[in-house]
Amino acid sequence: MRRIAGIVLAVLLIGGVAAAVVAGRTGQDKGTATKTVHGMIGSEKAEFFSDPDVVKALAAKGYTVRTETSGSWAMDGLDLEGYDFAFPSSQAPADELADKYHVRRPLPRPFYSPLVVVAHRSAAQVLAANGLATLDKNTGTLKMAAYLDAAEHERTWQQLKGAKAHGELTGTLYIASTDPETSSSGALYLAAASYVADGGRVASDDAAVGRTAPLMHRLISVQGAQQPSTDAAFGDFVSGAGNPLVLVYESQVASLLTQGHDAGDLTVLYPDTTANSDHTVVPLTPEGRALGELLSTDPVLRKLAVRHGFRPQGATGEFTAATAARSTYLNQKLTGVRQAPVPAYKVLHEMARRAGN
């Protein structure tokens, strides 16, 4: 397998909070920047805020933005006094933070990204040969009901026809995800999986959580130690290490492709039922709200968000146009992809707790 080379990966959160990632480094606070705002962000947005072009665009609007990274679901346990905004990777933890800090709605939601599964070509072909996926060039669809059935019956790669030709495909078949108790992507994975497993019903209480808890536990326990962030999981994948199937944000894939990195044998599988990661700003000060609205409306910043793989809210054409040259890898219009409703924060938190224990 060819390695996917040339991508710079962010240093990840370990145990709750990572080192500061600064957009507006020393010597870059000059020019028109007049306000410095501090934020706690999901690590998947660290590259965006540290991009020199983003720094320049923010400075042109009068902002220097300094950020630290945290798992989105871990932000609730942090003391955010003194910060201007929090920027988790999905709406559920954002709503919880908004309640905690008495933030008025609506909350700015500048961009979003669906969850996808990255696979090496050999793994994707085996899934397709066994009715677990369909393929079209470098992208395809993961059949969630069929995959969950395989997970429930603890199927191994060796039990799938065609797998014996690929020595790397051994052991239990599973999708590697992040820790759902601290990471948004891991929690959203459970939201989508439980929705499918419970016949298209969104979990709303303990009884609903209990109905799918054994399967959710199996999805998580089979993985062993989990990465705290999709950055780490995606980093392992692109380096040729780790599991053959990894749950990541589409934005990570799109960013790698739009910046011209070698895609190698990458295949992108869109679950036929998935969950969107709605990157939501929780303004803790007026300056934080102004920044969130600027990220949502400024044409230059929206264009830069697309360059980093995010889909701006309310304008699918921006993403489609920017990724036209990579359409063989990306389901640009999300055709055939159903969005699973996400349970309320406390319900999803309980689901994640039970899945991990």
Q: Can you give the pLDDT at residue 231? A: 83
User: Are 107 and 118 within one domain?
Assistant: no
Q: Tens-digit pLDDT profile for the chain (357 aa)?
A: 434 434 333 333 333 333 333 444 333 444 454 799 999 999 889 999 999 999 999 999 999 999 999 988 889 999 999 999 999 999 999 999 999 999 999 999 999 999 999 999 999 999 999 999 999 989 999 999 999 999 999 999 999 999 999 999 999 999 999 999 988 999 999 999 999 999 999 999 999 999 999 999 999 999 998 988 888 889 889 888 779 999 999 999 999 998 777 778 899 999 999 999 999 999 999 999 999 999 999 999 999 999 999 999 987 789 999 899 999 999 999 999 999 999 999 999 999 999 988
**How far is it, in rounded angstroms, from Cα 212 to Cα 228?**
23
Give the pLDDT confidence score for residue 232 in this predicted structure. 84
**Co-location of 292 and 238 in the same domain:** no
Q: Quick one: pLDDT at residue 302?
A: 96
pLDDT value of position 32:
53
Residues 265 and 187 in one domain: yes
CATH, residue 156: 3.40.190.10
Is the residue at 5 inside a domain?
A: no
Question: Looking at the domain assignment, is residue 106 inside a domain?
Answer: yes
For residue 153, the one-letter residue type is H
Half-sphere exposure of 109 (CA within 13 A, CB side): 20
Domain shared by 254 and 219, yes or no: yes
Q: Are residues 185 and 311 in the same domain?
A: no
Q: Which residue range forms the structural domain that includes residue 292?
A: 17-111+279-325
| Claim to verify: residue 130 and residue 272 sit in the same structural domain | yes
Whether 128 and 269 map to the same domain: the answer is yes
* Helix, coil or strand: residue 349: helix
Taking phi first (over 0 means left), then psi (-120 to 50 degrees means alpha), and beta for anything else, what does residue 131 get? left
Residue 16: per-residue pLDDT: 37
Is residue 3, in this structure, part of any structural domain at all? Answer: no
Shared domain check, 127 and 60: no
Q: How far apart are CA 337 and CA 334, in angstroms?
A: 5
Number of domains making up the chain: 2
Q: Residues 346, 321: one domain?
A: no
CA atoms of 206 and 101, how far apart (whole Å): 26
Inter-residue contact 217 to 211 (CB < 8 Å): no
Pair 209, 344 in one domain: yes
Q: Are residues 170 and 265 part of one domain?
A: yes
- Is the residue at 71 inside a domain? yes
Same domain (yes/no): 249, 350? yes
